[in-house]
């Protein structure tokens, strides 16, 4: 079975997208970051869901979105990026090590895929290549750009 969760920060609004770039754009884009966790598992779904809520989610400061659909709306495009399968993902390692220490978790975590997602808002032309160039590192990252109208 596979479940996807997207977690966004409740108290952090859209910021100036030029902060993500080495050279500023003139198009006035803004951005928000979220984190996306894709879990492949066997066993009790409720146990897996409880694990996610305890480990990855903060009731006070986060919003949790379940499923494949984007957690935010009104964007121009979003960039998903994360570590290549062969690259060391320290966040994944920390989460898996904690999971491994749980006695009787109620489910078996078969795989965990973590992606940082950056939503870009505004702008009239596709400038996603600039963000890919300045944020992603081809040596360690995999990425994917999704346009709003696709």
Partner 1 sequence: MEERPCAVLLKFPGTNCDAETARALEEVGFVTETLPVSALEPGKLVGVSLVVLSGGFSYGDYVMSGRIASLVTEQKIGKTLGDFRDNGGYILGICNGFQILTQLDLLPSGSLVENASGRFQCQWVTLKNLAPTSPFLTHLPAEFEFPIAHAEGRLVTKDAAEAAEYLSSGAAALTYRDEVNGSFERIAGLQDESGRVFGLMPHPERFLHRQDHYDPDWKSTGEDESRGSGYYFFRSLHESITKSN
Binding site for partner 1 (CB under 8 A): 9, 11-12, 15, 19, 35, 54-56, 58-62, 90-91, 94-95, 98, 101-102
**Minimal distance, residue 27 CB to partner 1, in Å:** 19
**Minimal distance, residue 90 CB to partner 1, in Å:** 5
- Closer Cβ to partner 1, 98 or 138, answer by number: 98
**Minimal distance, residue 150 CB to partner 1, in Å:** 29
- Closer Cβ to partner 1, 85 or 101, answer by number: 101
Backbone angle region of 85, left / alpha / beta, with phi > 0 → left and psi within -120 to 50 → alpha: alpha
Angle at 19 between CA 16 and CA 22, to 5 degrees: 135
**Minimal distance, residue 144 CB to partner 1, in Å:** 21
- Closer Cβ to partner 1, 61 or 137, answer by number: 61
List phi, psi (to 5°) of 15.
-110, 170
CA distance 31 to 16: 6
**Minimal distance, residue 76 CB to partner 1, in Å:** 20
- Closer Cβ to partner 1, 72 or 102, answer by number: 102
Nearest to 52, CA basis, from 115, 91, 101, 95:
95
SS (H, E, C) 45-104: HHHHHHHHHHHCCCCCCEEEEECCCCCCCCCCEEEEEEECCCCCCHHHHHHHHHHHCCCC
- Closer Cβ to partner 1, 9 or 49, answer by number: 9
Identify whether the C-beta of residue 41 lies closer than 8 Å to the C-beta of residue 109: yes
């Amino acid at each position: 079975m596979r479940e996807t969760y997207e977690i966004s920060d409740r108290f952090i609004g859209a910021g100036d997208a030029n902060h993500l770039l080495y050279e500023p754009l003139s198009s006035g884009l803004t951005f928000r970051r979220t984190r996306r966790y894709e879990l492949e598992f066997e066993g009790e779904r409720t146990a897996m869901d409880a694990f996610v809520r305890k480990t990855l989610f903060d009731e006070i400061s986060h919003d949790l979105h379940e499923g494949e659909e984007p957690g935010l709306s009104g964007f121009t495009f979003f960039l998903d990026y994360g570590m290549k399968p062969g690259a060391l993902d320290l966040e994944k390692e920390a989460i898996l090590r904690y999971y491994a220490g749980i006695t009787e978790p109620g489910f078996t975590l078969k795989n965990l895929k973590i992606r940082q997602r950056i939503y870009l808002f505004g702008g009239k032309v596709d400038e996603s290549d600039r963000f890919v160039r300045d944020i992603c590192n081809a040596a360690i990252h995999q990425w994917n750009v999704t346009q709003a109208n696709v």
